[in-house]
Structure 1
Amino acid sequence: MRRTPEPQDAGGTVAHARPAALDAHWRAANYLAVGQIYLMSNPLLTEPLRPEHIKPRLLGHWGTSPGLNLVHTHLNRVIIERGLDALCVWGPGHGGPAVLANSWLEGSYTQTYPDVTRDAQGMAKLFRQFSFPGGVPSHVAPETPGSIHEGGELGYSLAHAYGAAFDNPDLLVACVIGDGEAETGPLAASWHSTKFLDPVHDGAVLPILHLNGYKIANPTVLARIPEAELDALLKGYGHEPLHVTGDDPRKIHHTMAKAMDQALDRIAAIQQTARTGGARGRARWPVIVLRTPKGWTGPATVDGMPVEGTWRSHQVPLAGVRENPEHLAQLEGWLRSYRPQELFDAHGRPSPEVLDCVPEGHRRLGANPHTNGGLLTRQLPAVPLERFAVPVDKPGTTLHEPTRVLGALLARIMADTAGRRDFRVVGPDETASNRLGALFEVTGKAWQAGIVGTDEHLAGDGRVMEVLSEHLCQGWLEGYTLTGRHGLFSSYEAFVHIVDSMVNQHIKWLKTARSLPWRAPVPSLNYLLTSHVWRQDNNGFSHQDPGFVDHVLNKSPDVVRVYLPPDANTLLSVAEHVLHSRDYVNVVVAGKQPCFDWLSLDEARVHCARGAGVWEWAGTDDGTHDPDVVLACAGDVPTQEVLAAAGLLRHHLPELAVRVVNVVDMTRLLPHQEHPHGMADFEYDALFTPDRPVIFAYHGYPWLVHRLAYRRTGHPHLHVRGYKEAGTTTTPFDMVVRNDLDRYRLVMDVVDRVPGLAVRAAQVRQTMADARARHHSWIRAHGTDLPEIADWTWTG
């Protein structure tokens, strides 16, 4: 086993780098990282290593840990010397041992988990709990103090870092990007975030591209291209690269310290120039390119095969240690090469030299309050909805574009937060398209690149963020909300699927964070899905997919909420609720096309609070006995079709008792044992009845409603209509006809399913079928919907 050499002063390259102290801290962190992977007892090696000291299952990742430890050590130095307010996003999620080791060394881990003391006993707990049943994950995770980034899925670190930096002018966000992660599409797009970072109102991001050469089993692209080509790539993205390359601990600290100081000097100059009214132009921010061997300071060879500097060091370099005496001896030599007797006293406490470069209090990376954003969250200003609500004297006679009405509310919130800057709206180039253009009356679109005379609404300090990458929008907003600020992600419904995997990770983060009493609740991540499946008049089949709701409702019921407001006032009520909520992923589906107004604001608030309810005015159910049929709906277009069907039934079958139920909160359909918003069986039966036919017109895929309600007594009587992949570019009403969601098909369903009605109302059914046939002929001749459809209003 190679002994880690003593650092040597290379001529004082950095005046206050304290090479010996930096090296001691780095060695201590490396020792603790190895110990977490292998040891369950004998943490200080006070006796020869024996098989029983080794964990029975060796899990974890060593390869990236030495490089992360080096970064952490040097961030500590500059935080102390420059008095920085800083956090770090650790992109290589497999570097969990390193981040945990540093948190323990600086004391933030013990502060968070008092039973893991900063001594030999606590070190033993730190080692044993890592990747151990009942312990902590091997990745950086919500359980890790100082983290805002789950590293298990790669690609999102840099977007999270920028999200944290937006509107945090005094914050430095370092971000370590592994060279494997650098190969992902989201990370490649994230380099463009510099074009949206305002040096006046935002903080700074310092990317540290860590090139150690290998992924799990293959070389990495950026580590193998020539340095000149890599520099050209990074400069093309708008960065100025600074290189740190080496495998000699005697020199690396000076090189790293020099690069850190150069980067921070450059950042300070950029911000000072911008904030003092100096010449403005797009800043070229620094990036550090750190090249160190994978598995550095670990076993050089194992069983005659090269390990250090190869893919073999990615996870556990020495396997079968309990059973293999040679591996056991090699592990002991590896651990002792860090000279733990110099790093920890007899009681296991870190030595003064190790702690010489560790910040104190909130300056520690594991204790920065921005990484526990709920501690810093301020409630959004209360805005009276009455100022934005639309008047509704009679249901279904006036029309508004719901998202345009919402846009006025969002603009007011944006104006009211102008001084404190803790609210943003993100979206992929669709803010105006989604009828949220009122925002541009109070703020511009964040933009640091070139501007020409034909551009509109671009502004260096803008708080609407548009980029044609859903990954970036998602990552920015996650970083923004996790550090305590509020926001909304507006997207076309079909293309929000691009971030399916990202929202998975965020939901898991929130679920885990909820179980940690030390993590304060953070603002919810809110989606507004519009330009939805039923109104893709220009785009057609490629833009028709309502399945994001299905995806989200598969996740933890503690965290997810889904709302389908049927008109403008219910959208206002839902928006007020979700924007002030905490620790949720809220999905709101609402159209941008003209939509009938059904409820006044007061009615909308009551209805949204219930989540699902009877619209007495729409049905013919007088409440004195059970209805003959229930017409249920969720979503704006399904609501219109159900109301139209109810009107047809009122006209053609006036003796039929029809109940109309509208659902705003889809989770109300679940049993209360499965979701906090779920209905008890008696509530569900009172609303939908236990034994009467229920014709349910739903916005998305029909089987979701069946899945939510399958345990209900009345489920055998439930028939759901919704989207069934019958899409094209066509008229609005033809879309619902193609998917059998139209009013005529719903009336036919009633005739087919109400006992005894099929024979008695055969003529009514035939009239409905004829109307569908007339529709097909009409649109092919005229290209528009039938006048009776286009001119329909509620006359009940």
Structure 2
Amino acid sequence: MNDEFEDAIMDKTLPAPLTEARLRQIDAYWRAANYLTVGQIYLLDNPLLREPLRPEHVKPRLLGHWGTSPALNLVYAHLNRCITERGADMIYVTGPGHGGPALLANTWLEGTYSELHPSIGRDEAGMERLFRQFSFPGGVPSHVAPEVPGSIHEGGELGYALMHAYGAAFDNPDLTVACVIGDGEAETGPLAASWLSNVFLNPARDGAVLPILNLNGYKIANPTVLDRIPRSDLMSMMRGFGYEPHLVEGDDPDTVHQQLAAVLDTAFDRIAAIRHEARSGGAAERPRWPMIVLRTPKGWTGPAELGGNPVEGTWRAHQVPLPAVREHPEQLQALESWLRSYRPEELFDATGAPAGELRAFAPRGERRMSANPHANGGLLLRDLVLPDFRDYAVKAPRPGGTDAEPTRMLGEWVRDVIAANPDRFRLFGPDEVASNRLGAAFEVTDRAFMARTEPGDDHLGPDGRVMEVLSEHLCQGWLEGYLLTGRHGLFTSYEAFIHLVDSMFNQHAKWLKTTNGIPWRRPIASLNYLLSSHVWRQDHNGFSHQDPGFIDHVMNKKAEVVRVYLPPDANTLLSTMDHCLRSRQYVNVVVAGKQPAPNWLTMDEAVRHCTRGLGIWDWASTDGGAEPDVVLGCAGDVPTLETVAAADLLRRHLPHLKVRVVNVVDLMRLQPDTEHPHGLPDRQYDALFTTDKPVIFAYHGYPWLIHRLTYRRAGHANLHVRGYKEEGTTTTPFDMVMLNDLDRFTLVVDVIDRVPGLGQAAAGLRQEMVDARLAAREYTRTHGVDHPAIADWRPGKPLVL
């Protein structure tokens, strides 16, 4: 390596900014946090070592992670100095997944934890309860979970810290988000893409993100890649991502304290300069933001060795460095020596409270990172200004009498939502906003972009409110950070590829479920998905783009936090999305097509229908309000079209058959009210679907989900569901539904086969339907398009092939 380059990147010329008194104070704070961290992992009793440590003072099951904690505590202590000296408004995002005990330690030191949990006071008894509850039955998790004040990031799954940090910074001009990234986490794909988030951060209106890459060298069992590549390569990589990297490294505490303090001063000075220039009329250019590479030993200050094997600075420090303390006296002694090395008698007073010097060091009130309202976004949440969606209604003089592209109509409303909320709403999408027909947004805003632009670029600019990048992970993570800090948003994606964020959705849904039980966590705006370019209309992309299974994945989560909507036309989509953007503390999944489709309901009818969540469409039915012979259920725009067409065929060919058509918008209505807040009571469900009549249900997704939702219903044995069954290719829209037996002809055959006594009487019609399928397929194979009688069919028109 070039020595001159190495010296430069290590910032060896930086001054030592800490006075001796300040150095001792910050070191004491760090030691106190480390002591509390070790205590949480190991101790049940004797929290201040007022007597020699005995086996019964130690937890019977040792859970938790020590290796990452010393660095997290170090950074936290130094950021507290920056807050008190500079008045910084800052939150702390913890990327290393198992840093829970470190962050809990700091929230207790700052006093926030005891304020929110009075039973865990800032005294010896409270310390004992703090230790006992960690990773203990009935206690708190080992991650930086929702239970940790100041957290917006669940550390259970790695890769999302930096994107959450950037999401929190958008439209938060005075906020600085310090984000510690573990070097194991840095190997994940989502985190690798996250470095590019600075391309979308505008210092004139957004906050700042300070990434701190902690290189401790090891994951759970292996070395980390970024620690083993040449230092010059790592620094060049960070510069290539657009950062100004600063290196802090070492294993001598005093030296590292001085290095880190100096580098943080340099970083915060640079952030202040960037903000000043951007907000003083400077050119809207992408600045080179500072970032820090912090290289310290894994498990620093912990046991140096065990059984002749090195521990500190190796993978053995990752979890519990002394794993058998109760069973082995030498490990018990090592634990006591480890704890006493922090000199707790200097750190805590006679009552067990943090010593006065430590209490004086912590920031005050909402300036504490554990009490910053941005990390409890519901405290800051303001309602959106929503234009009246009824003003965007599509005319529907009669059912199916006009056509519209539902998402294009929605786009006009979303455009005006963006214009009315310039500081608290953004639209997120992976390069598909225009493709999904939401392009009206670009009439009032651009795509956010701070990198170089060229002539011919389409709607790129520093002030854009459309967040578009070809990464579903980034879109999801930015939106989550944005929501968790008190704002609103909408994420639009192709239906098949929203699966890329399955695990991210999992974590957010779990966060919502957990926070519902935490009184001091205030409700946040719902995470809203609009899935278009869906399974049934992938005419040119084909099989690879045909997957409606995200709905099934969502339905696995707790009923209290998930909602799924399948609006059948443009007006119901407008009504549904207005409801979703007003909601709180949910994940809302809305699936809607972008291709021209019939408008079935007027806006007033659509509002009533969406409010009910499902209902009988009398105009499509022939039961005359009496008991039907068969029920045709449907959920989804294409299944609805096929169901209405099937009902029309039955009306023409079997006029005496009493058919009831039931359309479902809110999928949760199919569940009993004992299973979901939106569920229908059994009596209401039975009134709609009957208890003993055949029900032919055409569904947007995989058929078994409908069975799963209704398996407890009285008439479940009569239910026959048609849906997507993994048959697809590049083909016409009607050929696609035929491939999956969801077409109108098959639905008519299903009725004939399942209504008692109809089989023989309607044998001729059944054969006609089979022949019609064959004719329709032959037409597509010959002409490459659907037969006009099918493509142009609307209610009231005869279907003649």
The residue aligned with 1:80 is: 84
In structure 1, C-alpha distance between the alignment counterparts of 2:300 and 2:359, rounded to whole Å: 22
Deviation per CA, 1:280-337, whole angstroms, max 9, x where unpaired? Answer: 4211111100000000000000111100000001000001111111110110000000
| Correspondent of 2:395 among 391, 403, 413 | 391
Offset, 1:598: 0.5
The residue aligned with 1:5 is: none
The residue aligned with 1:506 is: 508
Offset, 1:387: 1.4
Paired residue type of 1:632: G
Does 1:297 find its partner at 2:304?
no
Deviation per CA, 1:702-744, whole angstroms, max 9, x where unpaired? Answer: 1110111111111110000011111001111100011100000
The residue aligned with 2:557 is: 555
Quick check: 2:15–2:262 contact (8 Å CA) kept in 1? Answer: no
Q: How does 1:17-32 map to 2 (within 5 A)?
A: 18-32=22-36
Offset, 1:683: 1.2
| SS, match of residue 94 in structure 1 | coil
Does 1:378 find its partner at 2:382?
yes
The residue aligned with 2:10 is: none
Paired residue type of 1:20: R
In structure 2, C-alpha distance between the alignment counterparts of 1:368 and 1:16, rounded to whole Å: 30
| SS, match of residue 433 in structure 1 | coil
In structure 1, C-alpha distance between the alignment counterparts of 2:395 and 2:239, rounded to whole Å: 55
The residue aligned with 1:440 is: 442
Range with bigger deviation, 781-790 or 477-486: 781-790
The residue aligned with 1:519 is: 521
In structure 2, C-alpha distance between the alignment counterparts of 1:49 and 1:73, rounded to whole Å: 28
In structure 2, C-alpha distance between the alignment counterparts of 1:469 and 1:15, rounded to whole Å: 46
Does 1:766 find its partner at 2:770?
no
The residue aligned with 1:66 is: 70
| Correspondent of 1:207 among 185, 205, 211 | 211
Does 1:230 find its partner at 2:215?
no
Deviation per CA, 1:360-404, whole angstroms, max 9, x where unpaired? Answer: 000001000011000000011132122101111100110000001
Quick check: 1:414–1:423 contact (8 Å CA) kept in 2? Answer: yes
Q: How does 1:227-266 map to 2 (within 5 A)?
A: 227-266=231-270
The residue aligned with 1:753 is: 754
Deviation per CA, 1:411-439, whole angstroms, max 9, x where unpaired? Answer: 11111112xx1000000001111100110
Quick check: 1:17–1:77 contact (8 Å CA) kept in 2? Answer: no
| SS, match of residue 375 in structure 2 | helix
Q: How does 1:471-620 map to 2 (within 5 A)?
A: 471-620=473-622
Offset, 1:170: 0.3
Segments of structure 2 that go 5 or more residues without pairing to the other structure are: 1-13
Does 1:35 find its partner at 2:43?
no
Give the structure-2-normalised TM-score: 0.97
| SS, match of residue 18 in structure 1 | helix
Offset, 1:14: 4.1
Quick check: 1:25–1:355 contact (8 Å CA) kept in 2? Answer: no
Does 1:157 find its partner at 2:161?
yes
In structure 2, C-alpha distance between the alignment counterparts of 1:244 and 1:91, rounded to whole Å: 18
Paired residue type of 1:458: L
In structure 2, C-alpha distance between the alignment counterparts of 1:440 and 1:394, rounded to whole Å: 32
Deviation per CA, 1:8-41, whole angstroms, max 9, x where unpaired? Answer: xx98534698101000000000000000000011
The residue aligned with 2:647 is: 646
Quick check: 2:202–2:286 contact (8 Å CA) kept in 1? Answer: no
Paired residue type of 2:232: A
Deviation per CA, 1:62-102, whole angstroms, max 9, x where unpaired? Answer: 00000000000001000011101100100012111100000
Paired residue type of 1:410: V
The residue aligned with 1:273 is: 277
Offset, 1:623: 1.6
In structure 2, C-alpha distance between the alignment counterparts of 1:274 and 1:178, rounded to whole Å: 31
In structure 2, C-alpha distance between the alignment counterparts of 1:776 and 1:66, rounded to whole Å: 67
Paired residue type of 1:749: D
Give the structure-1-normalised TM-score: 0.98
In structure 1, C-alpha distance between the alignment counterparts of 2:618 and 2:368, rounded to whole Å: 60
The residue aligned with 1:170 is: 174
Does 1:429 find its partner at 2:431?
yes
The residue aligned with 1:704 is: 705
Quick check: 2:698–2:723 contact (8 Å CA) kept in 1? Answer: yes
Quick check: 1:670–1:678 contact (8 Å CA) kept in 2? Answer: yes
In structure 2, C-alpha distance between the alignment counterparts of 1:313 and 1:405, rounded to whole Å: 57
Quick check: 2:16–2:259 contact (8 Å CA) kept in 1? Answer: no
| SS, match of residue 98 in structure 2 | helix
| SS, match of residue 698 in structure 2 | strand
Offset, 1:406: 0.5
Does 1:283 find its partner at 2:287?
yes
The residue aligned with 2:7 is: none
Offset, 1:672: 1.0
| Correspondent of 2:373 among 369, 374, 398 | 369
Deviation per CA, 1:84-131, whole angstroms, max 9, x where unpaired? Answer: 110010001211110000000000101111111001111000000000
In structure 2, C-alpha distance between the alignment counterparts of 1:603 and 1:372, rounded to whole Å: 39
Does 1:196 find its partner at 2:200?
yes
Superposed CA RMSD in Å reads 1.0
Quick check: 1:159–1:190 contact (8 Å CA) kept in 2? Answer: yes
Instruction: Tell me: CA distance 1:637–1:11, structure 2 relative to 1, closer, same or farther (3 Å).
Output: closer
Paired residue type of 1:718: L
| SS, match of residue 240 in structure 1 | strand
The residue aligned with 2:454 is: 452
Paired residue type of 2:173: P
In structure 2, C-alpha distance between the alignment counterparts of 1:722 and 1:15, rounded to whole Å: 71
Does 1:627 find its partner at 2:628?
yes
Paired residue type of 1:435: R
Quick check: 1:17–1:254 contact (8 Å CA) kept in 2? Answer: no
Quick check: 1:702–1:720 contact (8 Å CA) kept in 2? Answer: yes
The residue aligned with 1:144 is: 148
The residue aligned with 1:337 is: 341
| SS, match of residue 293 in structure 2 | strand
Q: Count the aligned residue pairs.
A: 784
Q: What is the aligned-residue identity percentage?
A: 68
Segments of structure 1 that go 5 or more residues without pairing to the other structure are: 1-9
Instruction: Tell me: CA distance 1:528–1:18, structure 2 relative to 1, closer, same or farther (3 Å).
Output: same
| SS, match of residue 202 in structure 1 | coil
In structure 1, C-alpha distance between the alignment counterparts of 2:792 and 2:583, rounded to whole Å: 39
In structure 2, C-alpha distance between the alignment counterparts of 1:480 and 1:766, rounded to whole Å: 57
In structure 2, C-alpha distance between the alignment counterparts of 1:226 and 1:67, rounded to whole Å: 22
In structure 1, C-alpha distance between the alignment counterparts of 2:524 and 2:702, rounded to whole Å: 31
Quick check: 1:613–1:661 contact (8 Å CA) kept in 2? Answer: yes
| SS, match of residue 200 in structure 1 | coil
Q: How does 1:287-326 map to 2 (within 5 A)?
A: 287-326=291-330
Quick check: 1:723–1:739 contact (8 Å CA) kept in 2? Answer: yes
The residue aligned with 2:127 is: 123
Offset, 1:355: 2.5
Instruction: Tell me: CA distance 1:51–1:15, structure 2 relative to 1, closer, same or farther (3 Å).
Output: closer
Deviation per CA, 1:588-609, whole angstroms, max 9, x where unpaired? Answer: 0000000100011111111111
The residue aligned with 1:777 is: 778
Instruction: Tell me: CA distance 1:11–1:436, structure 2 relative to 1, closer, same or farther (3 Å).
Output: closer
Quick check: 1:700–1:722 contact (8 Å CA) kept in 2? Answer: yes
The residue aligned with 2:220 is: 216
In structure 2, C-alpha distance between the alignment counterparts of 1:328 and 1:436, rounded to whole Å: 63
Paired residue type of 2:786: D
In structure 1, C-alpha distance between the alignment counterparts of 2:601 and 2:147, rounded to whole Å: 45
In structure 2, C-alpha distance between the alignment counterparts of 1:506 and 1:291, rounded to whole Å: 31
In structure 1, C-alpha distance between the alignment counterparts of 2:502 and 2:105, rounded to whole Å: 32
